[in-house]
Structure 1
Amino acid sequence: MAGKVVLHYFNGRGKMESIRWLLTLAKVEFEEVFLTTREQYLKLLNDGDLMFQQVPMVEIDGMKLVQTKAILHYIADKYDLHGKDIKERAMINQYSEGLIDLMEMIMMLPFVPDQQPKLQNIETKAKERYLPVFEEVLKDHIHLVGGKMSMADVLLFECTLMLEEKFAGILGDFRSVKAFQGRMTMLETVKRFLGPDSKRKPQPDDKYVKTVMEVFDMQKLPF
């Protein structure tokens, strides 16, 4: 695996999925090592590979990077997906962090015993807090920042797919966001990642939840 980008995480979406998407849009090949046992996790800890005892962890350019945002920023900087100057980067980061907040609400759903109240809250926030921001920008622009693809575009596309999985028709009142999604879907890299046999992960299931809990030695759901 020398010289390869290697992702260390569970065989599921979680916080690694945005990293997979960003690498895909940057046209970077990567390999994956899936955490399936607590022993694997403890070995990473004992080897000093997890700075804050957390995954995801990405091996890239001789480093073992942790913390999702730090990883995303490094990839975006390296592959020209982070704007041309500090002002554009600030805007990209604002959009990206908002999207991460929304997607993390969805990520936590499999670990919530009673999902319905959470679903209602997520749908309301998506419609009233998040999607209107992107709809307004995309009315007059092809991309969110600087007239070219950025990390924010990649995360917005991923987020729209996640929202539609949970709330059919949620983009009906956000025509510019839906048009943006359509443009992204036409990209060859995206077509391949959405197609069969790609490294995109399916929606999390009970097996994924069970594995996460066993690896982290969680006796019960953290809610």
Structure 2
Amino acid sequence: MVSYKLTYFNGRGAGEVSRQIFAYAGQQYEDNRVTQEQWPALKETCAAPFGQLPFLEVDGKKLAQSHAIARFLAREFKLNGKTAWEEAQVNSLADQYKDYSSEARPYFYAVMGFGPGDVETLKKDIFLPAFEKFYGFLVNFLKASGSGFLVGDSLTWIDLAIAQHSADLIAKGGDFSKFPELKAHAEKIQAIPQIKKWIETRPVTPF
């Protein structure tokens, strides 16, 4: 039996999509949650591949970078698309999601208290333009699939990632009036029984 261990902070963040893949697949794994206070000492001893979290251990072998981990697990548990083309489309969306996250990062860091700047100014100047551009792309993918999923006619890991991000924004009062399709998408994905159960039982964390 393969042994999996995911090491990440005690938050959703970059580890959540992998946790949801495990939940959907019904796969046992060790969810190694690290506090911000524990991380500096752990960093010196755990040999994280790139000196950062998350990383996944598979039978003791380590894999870093959140999207690389998600792609690996999605391939293992059949959540990467039904064809090579669908997998490529999923990966293209994931790469665009990273671009969006980079654009919006100053706003999110300020909101969480990790970075400088006036939150309202950053929201208007940084977050909203990035959000509206990216979510416009997502609407196009939903319309093209016609299935309620972003790619093809079945769940993929990018559905899990986007649905969780949307749900987090909605929980903080995010305005989805321009993107009702993405609000419905989040509700659809997070109502899948395995995902719903995970969300109801996962540790409560601020991010």
Give the TM-score range, shorter chain.
0.7 to 0.9
Deviations 1:87-106 (A, max 9, x none): 21111011122223434626
- Alignment of 1:88 with 2:92, yes or no, is no
Offset at 1:141?
2.8
CA gap of 1:169–1:113, structure 2 versus 1, over 3 A, is closer
Offset at 1:61?
4.1
- Look up the equivalent residue of 1:143 and give its one-letter code: F
Tell me which residue corresponds to 1:164.
170
Q: Which runs of 5+ in 2 are unaligned?
A: none
Q: How far apart, CA to CA, are the structure 2 residues paired with 1:51 and 1:176?
A: 38
Range moving further from structure 2, 88-97 or 14-23: 14-23
- Look up the equivalent residue of 1:23 and give its one-letter code: F
Tell me which residue corresponds to 1:77.
75
Deviations 1:136-179 (A, max 9, x none): 2323332111211111211111121122234x252222122222
Q: How far apart, CA to CA, are the structure 1 residues paired with 2:198 and 2:123?
A: 27
User: Within 5 A, what are the aligned runs for 1:118-157?
Assistant: 118-120=122-124, 121-127=126-132, 129-139=133-143, 140-157=146-163
Q: How far apart, CA to CA, are the structure 1 residues paired with 2:155 and 2:11?
A: 26
Instruction: Select 1:114's aligned residue among 117, 126, 134.
Output: 117
1:14–1:107 CA contact under 8 A, matched in 2: no
- Look up the equivalent residue of 2:115 and give its one-letter code: V
CA gap of 1:78–1:112, structure 2 versus 1, over 3 A, is same
CA gap of 1:115–1:163, structure 2 versus 1, over 3 A, is farther
- Alignment of 1:42 with 2:44, yes or no, is yes
2:163–2:187 CA contact under 8 A, matched in 1: no
2:43–2:52 CA contact under 8 A, matched in 1: no
Among all aligned residue pairs of Structure 1 and Structure 2, give the percentage whose two residues are the same amino acid: 23
Deviations 1:177-217 (A, max 9, x none): 2222221232111211221x414x5224xxxxxxxxxxxxx
RCO (CA 8 Å, sep 6+): is it higher in 1 or 2? 1
Q: Which runs of 5+ in 1 are unaligned?
A: 205-223
Any runs of at least 4 consecutive aligned residues in structure 1 with deviations exceeding 4 A, and if so which? Answer: none
Offset at 1:56?
1.0
- Look up the equivalent residue of 1:39 and give its one-letter code: A
Range moving further from structure 2, 72-81 or 171-180: 171-180
CA gap of 1:135–1:3, structure 2 versus 1, over 3 A, is same
Instruction: Select 1:203's aligned residue among 195, 201, 206.
Output: 206
Tell me which residue corresponds to 2:61.
63
Q: How far apart, CA to CA, are the structure 1 residues paired with 2:2 and 2:186?
A: 33
Tell me which residue corresponds to 1:216.
none
Instruction: Select 1:53's aligned residue among 48, 51, 54.
Output: 51
Matched residue count: 195
Deviations 1:59-97 (A, max 9, x none): 124421112221111001101111233221111011122
Note the aligned Cα RMSD (angstroms): 2.3
Q: How far apart, CA to CA, are the structure 1 residues paired with 2:76 and 2:2?
A: 15
